[in-house]
A and B are shown apart, each in its own frame.
Chain A
Amino acid sequence: MLDKRMSLADIVGQLEDGMTIGIGGWGARQKPMALIREIVKSDLKDLTIVSYGGCDVGMLASARKIKKLIFSFVTLDAIPLEAHFRRARSAGEFEVMEIDEGMFQLGLKAAAQRLDFLPCIAGLGTDVMTYNPDIKTIKSPYSDDHYVAMPALNLDVALCHVLEADQKGNSHIGGPDMFFDEWFCRAAKKSYLTCERIVETSAFNDDHKILRMPIERNLVAGVAEAKFGAHPTSCGPDYGFDVPHLKAYNATAKEGWDGYVSDFIEEADYTAKIGGADHIRSLALPAF
């Protein structure tokens, strides 16, 4: 019987300096934060991070883990600007590949299909092309149109957080939006999932859940249970994002972030430290 269960530390033990790591979720939603905290505690360095960014990017930036960031935005959603990212970006602490949101998904989809690139028109006429001279345009073989040839974003590893998974690597995203987790996994050599709870495979014998199971198990190398593992980002439908926590976290970009690391990231009982299970379950889902 397949058993891909691992600990968070086991998963991070599979990562190496210099790797290109894709992180699922979007902004302050559905981020594999338990794994991010584990990476912050590790000796890993020189990572290329590929993310529709939120506090995952901010924390890795302030922990000096990022050599290069491939991104379209970094935001905490309810709080538009991510202070740790802003500080590190303005200090020039890492290289950037800043691209349109749609180009980003095409890069993952090109990698998923083992193609060098996929064409689009997003990027034309903008400084995305100026500051990314490696991104080329091509003339259509069928007309006089010119397209951006968005290069494949080949990932060494994808890290995603889902609602439920079984030990074989089947998984169910609680949603509502499944974002691009599927495409991160398809673009990666290896994918690791964290989940709110490990369930029996029989839990997926359910026509409604099946509609929210975009990642087939043979994409998944390992699964770790991490209850509240997306906090302080949201994990629908179980909990929303923790706005007061995110505000306090954001403030540490200026004040210095060592206190946040010792108070939360190095804290053995994270759930208790942030107010307990009932508090997290009471966090309202995002609404805009």
Chain B
Amino acid sequence: MSNSSPEYSLAELAIVAASEIFRDETPEVFATLIGTLPKLAGYVARETFLPGMMMSDGLYYLAAEPVPVGPRPGFESKKEGRIGYERVFTIVAKGNRHAFVGPVQVDKYGQMNLSCIGDYEKPKVTMLGVRGLPGNTVNNRTSMFFANHNKRALVEGEVSMVSGAGYNPARYPNGKYPIGLDHRQIITNLCVLDFEGPNHSIRVRSLHPGVTFEEVQDNTGFELVRPDNIPETAAPTQAQLDIIAKYDPHNMRAYIFKDNPAGRRAS
């Protein structure tokens, strides 16, 4: 398809696939990018088709230019405004935000867990806490990233502690979804999922090269919607790879997936 197909890693494939979550975004969306993959995905979107995207420097300022990932001694971010936490909360509530987050678990409703696993009084595993997930998920577009697509992450039934809301009508006072509930995509090491199945059920949107639907289903704790034709996740172009390299000079992307596998599996 592309004139010459460059070599690429699974991380680079997933970064470029994830950049597509912003394809239908508003021109000046405030994107919250947490972690190496979400950040680089946001940067690819910004440099290719969404130049007006707003983002934080990760600390306090609106960054006029993407802040590279990894160590950057002496680097001074270029500021275009301020975006302290109190302002972030007002932006969350107003709605024009896309949060690209990495929860520990997700279920068939798109409900997420970042709090704890097991008995709530004495959890087997305590994690961070619900953080801003309850507010994000009922107000903002939400996409997720899972580095390990398996049944411990994409769970059967409901997640242990529903920290982020999803499409589960039984959980709302009048059965009506909140105004901003709008889950977009889930990027994993195997595929891209979306919420475009019947009643927002989770559907396989594309499969990474060499991955089958059956492999994805076998590693998922709930039933996935299988479209008739599932495309292969698009390979990165050289231009996209160049953007990734520019903002990841220390190759932090090599640590996104265990052993940094190639994008196209050896057959």
Real binding pair: yes
Cβ contact of A126, chosen from B120, B125, B130, cutoff 8 A: B130
Q: Report yes or no: A101 in contact with B168, Cβ–Cβ below 8 A.
A: no
Q: Report yes or no: A102 in contact with B59, Cβ–Cβ below 8 A.
A: no
CB-CB under 8 A from B137, the residues of chain A are 125-126
Known A146-B174, A176-B84; judge A73-B131 contact (CB<8 A): yes
Q: List residues of chain A with CB under 8 Å of any chain B CB.
A: 26, 53, 71-75, 80-81, 85-86, 89-92, 98-103, 105, 120-128, 130-131, 137, 144, 146, 175-180, 285-288
CB-CB under 8 A from A131, the residues of chain B are 120, 161
Known A124-B172, A144-B174; judge A90-B122 contact (CB<8 A): yes
Cβ contact of A81, chosen from B61, B92, B128, cutoff 8 A: B128
User: Number of B residues contacting the other chain (C-beta, 8 Å)?
Assistant: 51
When C-beta atoms are compared, the residue in chain A nearest to B75 turns out to be: A287
Q: Report yes or no: A126 in contact with B132, Cβ–Cβ below 8 A.
A: no
0/1 string, B95-118, CB within 8 A of A gives 1: 000000000000000010001100
When C-beta atoms are compared, the residue in chain B nearest to A131 turns out to be: B120
Known A90-B126, A100-B132; judge A125-B86 contact (CB<8 A): no
Q: Report yes or no: B165 in contact with A72, Cβ–Cβ below 8 A.
A: no
Cβ contact of B133, chosen from A92, A100, A175, cutoff 8 A: A100
B254 adjacent to chain A (CB < 8 Å): no
Sorted nearest first, the 9 A-B pairs with minimum C-beta distance are A125-B165, A288-B58, A122-B135, A73-B129, A100-B134, A176-B60, A92-B122, A146-B173, A102-B135
0/1 string, B77-91, CB within 8 A of A gives 1: 000001011100100
When C-beta atoms are compared, the residue in chain A nearest to B160 turns out to be: A127
Q: Report yes or no: A74 in contact with B125, Cβ–Cβ below 8 A.
A: no
> Among B12-20, B22-30, B178-186, B244-252, which stretch is in contact with chain A?
B178-186
Q: Report yes or no: B58 in contact with A287, Cβ–Cβ below 8 A.
A: yes
Cβ contact of B85, chosen from A86, A100, A177, cutoff 8 A: A177
Known A89-B123, A125-B166, A126-B171; judge A98-B115 contact (CB<8 A): yes
CB-CB under 8 A from B85, the residues of chain A are 26, 101, 177, 179-180
B258 adjacent to chain A (CB < 8 Å): no
B93 adjacent to chain A (CB < 8 Å): yes
Q: Chain A's nearest CB lies how many Å from the CB of B123?
A: 5
Cβ contact of B86, chosen from A121, A126, A180, cutoff 8 A: A180
CB-CB under 8 A from B116, the residues of chain A are 89-90
Q: Report yes or no: B173 in contact with A137, Cβ–Cβ below 8 A.
A: yes
In the assembled complex, the Cα of A269 lies from the Cα of B130 at a distance in Å of 38
CB-CB under 8 A from A146, the residues of chain B are 172-174
Most B Cβ at <10 Å: residue of A74, A92, A177: A177
Known A137-B173, A287-B72; judge A122-B138 contact (CB<8 A): yes
B127 adjacent to chain A (CB < 8 Å): yes
- Main DSSP-derived SS at the A contact region: loop
Q: Report yes or no: A286 in contact with B126, Cβ–Cβ below 8 A.
A: no
Q: Report yes or no: B164 in contact with A126, Cβ–Cβ below 8 A.
A: yes
In the assembled complex, the Cα of A98 lies from the Cα of B128 at a distance in Å of 11
In the assembled complex, the Cα of A13 lies from the Cα of B122 at a distance in Å of 33
In the assembled complex, the Cα of A180 lies from the Cα of B120 at a distance in Å of 28
4 more contacts with CB within 8 A, not counting A144-B174, A286-B59, are A81-B128, A89-B123, A100-B132, A178-B86
B190 adjacent to chain A (CB < 8 Å): no
B139 adjacent to chain A (CB < 8 Å): yes
In the assembled complex, the Cα of A105 lies from the Cα of B135 at a distance in Å of 12
B121 adjacent to chain A (CB < 8 Å): yes
Known A100-B130, A101-B135; judge A90-B125 contact (CB<8 A): yes
In the assembled complex, the Cα of A105 lies from the Cα of B88 at a distance in Å of 12
Cβ contact of B131, chosen from A101, A130, A287, cutoff 8 A: A101
CB-CB under 8 A from A179, the residues of chain B are 84-86
In the assembled complex, the Cα of A177 lies from the Cα of B85 at a distance in Å of 7
Q: Report yes or no: B163 in contact with A127, Cβ–Cβ below 8 A.
A: yes
CB-CB under 8 A from B164, the residues of chain A are 126
CB-CB under 8 A from B134, the residues of chain A are 99-100, 102-103, 122-126, 128
CB-CB under 8 A from A85, the residues of chain B are 126
Q: Report yes or no: B171 in contact with A105, Cβ–Cβ below 8 A.
A: no
CB-CB under 8 A from A80, the residues of chain B are 128
Cβ contact of B59, chosen from A101, A120, A121, A288, cutoff 8 A: A288
In the assembled complex, the Cα of A177 lies from the Cα of B86 at a distance in Å of 9
Q: Report yes or no: B135 in contact with A125, Cβ–Cβ below 8 A.
A: no
Most A Cβ at <10 Å: residue of B89, B111, B172: B89
11 pairs across A/B with beta carbons < 8 Å?
A: A81-B128, A85-B126, A90-B123, A90-B125, A92-B122, A99-B130, A100-B131, A125-B165, A131-B120, A175-B60, A287-B72
